[in-house]
Amino acid sequence: MGWEIVSLVFGAISIGVAAYFWVWTMKQTNDNPVMEEFSKAVQEGAQAYLKRLFQALGLLAGVIALVMLVALGWQKAIAYLFGAACSAAAGYVGMTVATRANARVAWAAREGLKKAFPVGFNAGAVMGFAMVGVALIGMTLIYMIFQSPDVVLGFSFGASSLALLAKAGGGIYTKTADIGADLVGKVEFNLAEDDPRNPAVIADNVGDNVGDVAGMGADIFDSYVASVVAVMLLGFELYGKRADGVSFVVLPLVLGAAGVIASLVGMLFVRTGESNDPGRGLNMGTYATTAVFALLTLGVVFLMGFDRPLGIFWPAFAGLLAGVVIGVTSDKFTDIDQQAVQHTAHSANTGPALLILDGFSYGLLSIVPSILGICIAMLASWFLAQHYGLAGTYGVSLAAVGMLSVTGMVVASDAYGPIVDNAKGCAEAGHESEETIAVCDRLDAAGNTAKAITKGFAIGAAALTVLALFAAYSETVNVDVLDLKTPGVVVGLFLGAIMPPLFSALTILSVSRNAFKMVEEIRRQFREIPGLLEGKAKPDSRRCVDIAARGALKELILPGSLSLITPVAVGLVLGKYALGGFLAGSIVTGIVFALLMANAGGLWDNAKKFIEDGAYGGKGSAAHKAAVVGDTVGDPFKDTAGPSLNTLITVMSLVATVFGPAITSITLLAI
């Protein structure tokens, strides 16, 4: 037994904490039968979609596992299936509690924000701690059984391939319903956001859960596992022959255990306080978790007996700071109380054109500090590791682990968002008071910012993770230098660079096609169901749920296939150096596009909410209708294409690393 047993124990503790918060959440009351009915409709829709999704992904996983069995052996094939199953299980648990917590948050909102906030956050914590626990136990078991980080790479590939399709599919689903509900309900009939007369409201609330809970959870699960595996691979390749080589391999697992402790302490700081500001409470929890993790990391590197402990601590700390920079940047550009959101909302007085231009421009501006933070973290971790006699690539990979080790807290904040968003829908469906709905609105605005921060965090973490995976790929296939005078490298660079915009175009067009069907269906129901608009008849919500689900699964096929096939094709045709260029190109454009779309989309959403709170004429005004158009543009930006890109580049990097030795040995051109 070595240090990996620590990871196993704290993985189990993390799952135990998730179970505790599950029980606590289920004990909270909801005595409004209409809200309970609304909540159950969301539960049923989410369960039905995930059942269809997992059936499709199960078939895909079986095919990929068969290919891996033939090409790479049974060990990696089993690890791949186990990784996919663990990712699915974590997402399913989080979504299940989220869809049961929404009405409980709405009922608690009757007593004010201080009562409702912990219900929403503790329900989100189920997802955060379950995800970390499942990941730690899964990776540790695979390593303890096979004693090879290369086999654990198969586990990571399984998590990533499921995450890409779960996030993209959930994003297409949720924005299909959201756009349809907004364009018809808000713009054409002046209905409130979650008015139960709108046929797409249930589908919209279902989409929040399958996209932002199950999908986003799988996304961060993927980045978390990939960052750990990258350190394990590099530790084995660089230091495996040393007497203390095993310590370099299992270090990220132990840091994951430290992250569980840090997140538990951070939970104590998540409270609204006298300010009644849920956003401040979420941020305080994240900052406290970061500080505690830094102290624990310092203790871990000394306890594990590394001869140069500070060469490990400082790179991990640099990653933590980069995460804070990205979080602060996302908050600055997406928080409803910040100048960027309010200035964009002011532009709505002239119509949607200037509002969209301002939001897009602020989205572009938001890239700069985040990229600078990533660059500084990369340089600092590289040179700090080298200063203490360690490889720079190992330092960069430690920065990714440092950023992602606080994942428990980050995912809890992310899952809080859709829970409180659904709570507002429950409150409106249950005809709760304006004061109760206002509390839910305030919780929701903080949730939008929390989701934007989480997306920025996930994107930044993916940037460092794929750089670490790039280093692992280079070590695996023996690529020392990418020469830009070589045509194959340049071609690979451009092919990689076009993948994120191509993927974005395909997913946004998927949303557009599906949303068109949704708009037509909503209009049909208002036209053909007597008394629907007057509230005397119920809409056919199941039909809208079915349109969103069927469309999302159908539209997944092309973008999902490209992410898996393209790296293999480039390696087979052009060789390992061209494939290295391909990965480099995809990393650069992927991070830029992802940050732009996540932050611009979050900004447009909160600009709309700022107007709905009473600014510039409030709900139903010309400014509000312009803001709804901007939010509609931002929806697929922030919830479909943007957050899927960090998973895309991770998946392509893993495909290259997993299959690299096999495909580059039979290259056709090798230019």
Taking the C-alpha atoms of residue 54 and residue 155, their distance in angstroms, rounded to an integer, is 17
| pLDDT grade for 305, boundaries at 50, 70 and 90 | confident
Q: Provide the domain limits for residue 386.
A: 4-666
Q: How far apart are CA 413 and CA 599, in angstroms?
A: 17
Q: What is the residue type of 71?
A: A
pLDDT for 323 equals 77
The answer to whether residue 321 is domain-embedded is yes
Residue 489 pLDDT exceeds 80: yes
- 530 φ, ψ (degrees, to nearest 5): -60, 135
Stated pTM of the model: 0.86
Mean pLDDT computed over 303-308: 87
Query: For residues 670, 67, 497 and 650, what is the CA-based torsion angle, rounded to 10 degrees?
Result: -130
**Contact assessment for residue 58 and residue 46, using Cβ atoms and an 8 Å cutoff:** no
Average per-residue pLDDT for the chain: 86
Report if residue 671 sits inside a domain.
Answer: no
Question: Which CA distances in Å does 261 have to 6, 151, 232, 297, 541?
Answer: 12, 27, 21, 11, 43
Q: How confident is the model at residue 337 (pLDDT cuts 50, 70, 90)?
A: confident
Max mean pLDDT range (3-12, 181-190, 396-405) = 3-12
- Reported as a single tens digit per residue, the pLDDT across 3-45 is 889 999 999 999 999 999 999 999 998 888 888 888 888 888 8
Quote the pLDDT of residue 452: 62
Query: What's the rounded mean pLDDT across residues 39-67?
Result: 86
Question: Does some domain include residue 421?
Answer: yes
Closest by CA to 553, choosing from 61, 209, 42, 51, is 51
Asked if pLDDT for residue 276 goes beyond 70, the answer is no
What pLDDT sits at residue 347? 93
Contact between 529 and 491 (Cβ < 8 Å): no
Domain count, the chain: 1
The 10s digit of each residue's pLDDT in 158-170 is: 888 888 778 788 8
Q: Is residue 268 part of a domain?
A: yes
Residue-wise pLDDT tens digits, 375-390: 888 899 999 999 998 8
Does 60 fall in a domain? yes
Dist. CA 82–CA 197, nearest whole Å: 43
Tens of pLDDT, residues 441-467: 888 777 766 666 666 666 777 777 788
The closest alpha carbon to 344, from 330, 332, 354, 331, belongs to 354
